[in-house]
Amino acid sequence: MKFLMILLLASSFQLTYPQISWQLISNLDSMGSVNSLQFDSNRRIYAAANNGLFTSTDLGISWERNLSNELMNSMITDLLLIDTQNLLIGTHDKGILKSIDGGKTWSQTQLSNTWIEKIVLKKNTAIFAATDDKMYKSTDEGINWERLSNGFNPFLNVVWSLYITDRGRVLAGTECGLYSTDDNGLNWNLIESFNCGDVLAINGMTNDAKILLGGADRLYGIYFSEDAGNSWEYLHFNDTIFYTSSILVSGNNDFYIGAKISGIYKYNVLENTLTSLNSGLPHSLNLGREWYFVSAIAMDSLGYLYLAASNLYRSREPVDSLKYIANNFYDFSLSQNYPNPFNPSTSIQYAVGNRQYVSLKVFDVLGNEIATLVNEEKPAGSYEVTFDANGLSSGMYFYKLQAGGFSKTNKMILIK
């Protein structure tokens, strides 16, 4: 299949101004392209990437490869979090692997030696997995798999995306249009060909109030459905978006749309507005326009938006106010500075569990105080400060956080 890299049509819709500023969290070059970015209920991040499966327990600042040596560099195409202990991953050549201990160890499932593109869970019962031109179903949390052959073989093309509506309908986005089944995969029907375009991402709001899909090749922009996928309507201003990688729904009637060429956009359902959120993100020039690469997006329990490109970025403010209000709790913490080593400045993140007088200071190896970064009362929350080491010599320095009874010291290295 060929993705046509052509100059996109200019949108006739006036985009609104960016409303999000981005914070650089970490560099993801060692991962290759990130195919899926997900949080579990403990705010641990999983990155299913071309160079393996990676996890982070400090909100993306540092990462650890999560597979045994023989699987370390396998391409991980998708990740399904059944719960914090039960996980499934899809690979490019070893089928589906399962972990029952939160990703510490992995075992091969019955579905092996095949390319897995997507895995989805149907209301805590059946799990569906898509390969290049086949579909499988599991009813025992991914251990055993049944091939669904009736009505699906006519696809004869790659299944890129899967989505299960609240009514139980399974939607399969393929290399040439969208298919559906209402009987757990026994029979499939072509809903819409989209000019034989690639349907790369599908997601919907609670109760299927609105479902969005996007793709590439002959599928420009975003389509939506308000009847569980029976019919689809084109959002006229969305020819701006091309090569959709992921679609995420927030509790504020917003869809966040990530694309490997167009970057990141927000679509508000009630206002019918599209907002470009690319300001501040790296880009390249191709065919006379700016191209932004966003391969995966995710949202944490506090409503902060994360996106993966060659780097990991987080919105500086929560974008989902409902999540933020419902889950606004913090522990006292002091994170490792980033970047580290650094020259000449670095960022330091810390969190305060309740209102306290906070002191954050920098010291040299002899214990001399170099700088006071914070010295004031702070309410509960997560914070970030920048330390500028201009005028200091290379070497090791320490930064210490004191807040109430909490005290922690980390080291950082300045290299000039």
Task: Using a pLDDT cut of 90, give the percent of the chain over it.
Answer: 49
- pLDDT exceeds cutoff 90 at 371: yes
36 closest CA partner among 207, 246, 249, 220: 246
Quote the pLDDT of residue 89: 94
In the numeric block, the tokens 């650094």 are attached to 342
Lowest mean pLDDT among 42-46, 207-211, 261-265: 42-46
Q: Hey, which residues does 188 pair with through a beta bridge?
A: none
Q: In what order do the strands lie in the sheet with 118-121?
A: 118-121, 127-130, 135-138, 146-148
CA distance readout (Å), 302 to 63, 320, 322, 328: 21, 8, 9, 6
Higher-confidence position of 103 and 239: 103
* Per-residue confidence band for 405, with pLDDT thresholds at 50, 70 and 90: confident
- pLDDT exceeds cutoff 70 at 69: no
* Helices assigned H by DSSP within 171-328: 321-326
pTM over 0.85: no
- Give the SS3 label for residue 68: coil
- pLDDT exceeds cutoff 50 at 164: yes
* Per-residue confidence band for 291, with pLDDT thresholds at 50, 70 and 90: confident
Higher-confidence position of 396 and 157: 396
What is the C-alpha to C-alpha distance for residues 154 and 44, in angstroms, rounded to an integer? 40
* Helices assigned H by DSSP within 198-336: 321-326
* Per-residue confidence band for 252, with pLDDT thresholds at 50, 70 and 90: confident
Lowest mean pLDDT among 139-143, 215-219, 220-224, 330-334: 330-334
* Helices assigned H by DSSP within 112-221: none
Quote the pLDDT of residue 3: 34
- Give the SS3 label for residue 352: strand
Q: What is the pLDDT of residues 90-106, one digit of tens each?
A: 998 889 999 998 888 88
Q: Are strands 356-363 and 395-403 parallel, antiparallel or unpaired?
A: antiparallel
CA distance readout (Å), 184 to 165, 181, 365, 396: 12, 6, 64, 60
- Mean of the pLDDT values across residues 74-91? 91
Report the phi/psi class of residue 253: left, alpha or beta, with left for phi > 0 and alpha for psi in -120 to 50. Answer: left
Higher-confidence position of 124 and 186: 186
Residue 198, classified by CB atoms within 10 Å of its CB into exposed (0-12), middle (13-18) or buried (19+), is buried
What is the C-alpha to C-alpha distance for residues 151 and 285, in angstroms, rounded to an integer? 44
Higher-confidence position of 267 and 132: 267
Mean of pLDDT over the chain: 86
Quote the pLDDT of residue 142: 92
What is the C-alpha to C-alpha distance for residues 167 and 178, in angstroms, rounded to an integer? 17
What is the C-alpha to C-alpha distance for residues 116 and 128, in angstroms, rounded to an integer? 11
- pLDDT exceeds cutoff 70 at 19: no
